[in-house]
Amino acid sequence: MSAPLLQLRQLTKSFGGARALRGVDFELHAGEVHALLGENGAGKSTLIKIVTGAHQPDSGSIALDGHRVGTLDPATAHALGIACIYQQPALFPALSVMENIALRLEPVSPGRRVDWRQRRDRAAALLQRLGANIQPDATVSTLSMPAQQLVEIACALGAGARILLMDEPTASLTQSEQLRLFAVIRELRRNGVGIIYISHRLEEIFSLADRVTVLRDGQSVGTHATSAIDEPALIRLMVGRELTQIYPPAGSVPGRVILAARELGHAASGVHHVSFEVRAGEVLGLAGMVGAGRTELARILFGLTPADAGEILLEGKRAAIRSPREAVAEGIGYVPEDRRRHGVILEMPVAENMTMAIHPRIFPGGWLRFGRERALALDYIRALDVKCAGPEAVGSSLSGGNQQKVSLARWLVTKPRVLILDEPTQGVDVAAKGEIHRLVRRLTQEGMAVVLISSDLTEVIGMCDRIGVMRGGTLVSILPGRTDAHAVMAAALGQGPMAGGSA
């Protein structure tokens, strides 16, 4: 058998007194998709940075094609055919797509004449290979996040990558874009490229990967063929304990109607004729395909794009919600989909992130009472079990799951009657998901009404008391919780029965 394309032996890495990697072994063969799993903080990011040359290991060895390599810096890794696709594309926003691709692929030499036609043709060919409908002349800043990620992949393909690391590559892609990416990954595998694939979505692992290695606390705790292991076993390896219930039981009986929408709409957002109710102690799920209008509906309810048709009622009284300030005053909290852009300000301390929505309350008259802010933050750090160095820790120092808890805390401090959660567990590990799910159930047991939007169908089915399915900007079906996944998908695709009455 030929030598592995990449072989890591007994890698260790420490940052100060913290051991990030503890003697990790890992192999990748040509034409293999090898998944790397683990909770946030397990060591996956450190391992990636060592392979790409961003970090140097304290000890251990790295070999390519059976030959040990010495110091691996980013330039050397690139020259050896190692490329990484991160969640956040590292492109120059003011330059065109073809210019970004050229910067990765063309040698730098003074006085070199630029062949613009060749640049355009090469970019067009790479994008066509991906099935991406992106113009080479388009300025990157005008592209959506999924489109920018496809440009990153085109750069890696153009560089002839032999080893491709993919870190949560589908986190910002639509379903159709995900399927296109999966087709590209399978084609790369057929062409002998070795792919290290990192994702918290276990269904992707079983669909794509040949093998899976699990890291826990900086150590490799097992490598298995995906055909020889199941999801519960992988979860046990990741968290080091049994998860007897992925989704906690409801434990509460829905009470009075807290929030109701009647023929709600916003023409510019494509949302129209939406009617539903959500009760105290209830989780109402919103399912549907990408573009169905779920996030747009959440933005209407929170006053980001105020409704231009219909009405919103809170405990039976009509509420005119024209801004987020009015939504907060009415007792509505909203945890948005993109926590990095809208949920947590990464440069700010945890305490400031948590109290941002209630500054007038804790700083009356403009008097700065930092002791009060810190005490309140400590209460929520303890209540939500946020793992951080303290209220002064900056948001960027936290794992994805802990950032999401801080984003939740920002709205919990407002004492909302209704909490809207848009993709609350996207991009967080399985243990953090479980903690967030238990928190949601605890909130409903305390009488809160929750609207949960998720693209994870198993999460919607497992967590929601009722499921509203959206299609084409309106609510088309109301299904009970724990319903069959096929029924939800049928409704989302227009193959199920229309809903009768309001949700």
pLDDT tens per residue, range 438-470: 889 989 999 999 999 988 777 888 899 999 999
Q: What is the DSSP string of 120-188?
A: HHHHHHHHHHHT----TTSBGGGS-HHHHHHHHHHHHHHTT-SEEEEESTTTT--HHHHHHHHHHHHHH
Residue 358 lies in a domain: no
pLDDT digits (tens, 9 = 90+) for 215-239: 988 899 999 999 999 888 887 787 6
Asked, for residue 266, whether it belongs to a domain, the answer is yes
pLDDT band at 246 (very low <50, low <70, confident <90, very high): low
Binned at pLDDT 50, 70 and 90, residue 430 comes out as: confident
pLDDT at 145 (0 to 100): 72
User: Which of the residue ranges 79-83, 290-294, 403-407 has the most confident prediction, judged by mean pLDDT?
Assistant: 79-83
Is the domain of 183 the same as that of 316? no
Residue 402 covered by a domain: no
How many domains does the chain fold into? 2
Domain around 41: 6-239
Q: Is residue 425 assigned to a domain?
A: yes
Of 420, 457, 426, 455, the closest CA to residue 440 belongs to 420
Specify if 126 maps to a domain.
yes
Q: Among 239, 274, 294, where does a domain finish?
A: 239
pLDDT at 244: 44
Which pLDDT belongs to residue 380? 83
Is the domain of 287 the same as that of 417? yes
Q: Which residue has the tokens 């999924």?
A: 146
Whether residue 289 sits in one domain with residue 235: no
Q: What is the mean pLDDT of the chain?
A: 86
Based on the domain organization, do 163 and 26 belong to the same domain? Answer: yes
pLDDT band at 241 (very low <50, low <70, confident <90, very high): low
In this structure, the answer to whether residues 221 and 269 fall within a common structural domain is no
435 and 292 in a common domain: yes
Is residue 226 located within the same domain as residue 304? no
Which residue, of 239, 265, 281, is where some domain finishes? Answer: 239
Residue 359: inside a domain = no
In tens, the pLDDT along 299-349 reads: 999 999 999 999 999 999 999 999 999 999 999 999 887 655 666 788 888
* Residue 67 bridge partners (DSSP): 64
Residues 148, 285, single domain; the answer is: no
Indicate if 132 and 209 belong to the same structural domain: yes
Task: For residues 420 and 316, state if they share a domain.
Answer: yes
- pLDDT score for 243: 43
Residue 335, in any domain of the structure = yes
Same domain, 280 and 228: no
Percent above pLDDT 70 for the chain: 89
Q: In terms of domains, do 214 and 277 share one?
A: no
User: Are 64 and 242 within 8 A, CB to CB?
Assistant: no
Q: Which two tokens stand for residue 156?
A: 């890696």
Which of 239, 271, 305 is the last residue before a domain boundary? Answer: 239
pLDDT at residue 393 is higher than 80:
yes
Q: What is the pLDDT of residue 502?
A: 45
315 located within any domain:
yes
426: CATH: 3.40.50.300
Q: Is the pLDDT of residue 62 over 50?
A: yes
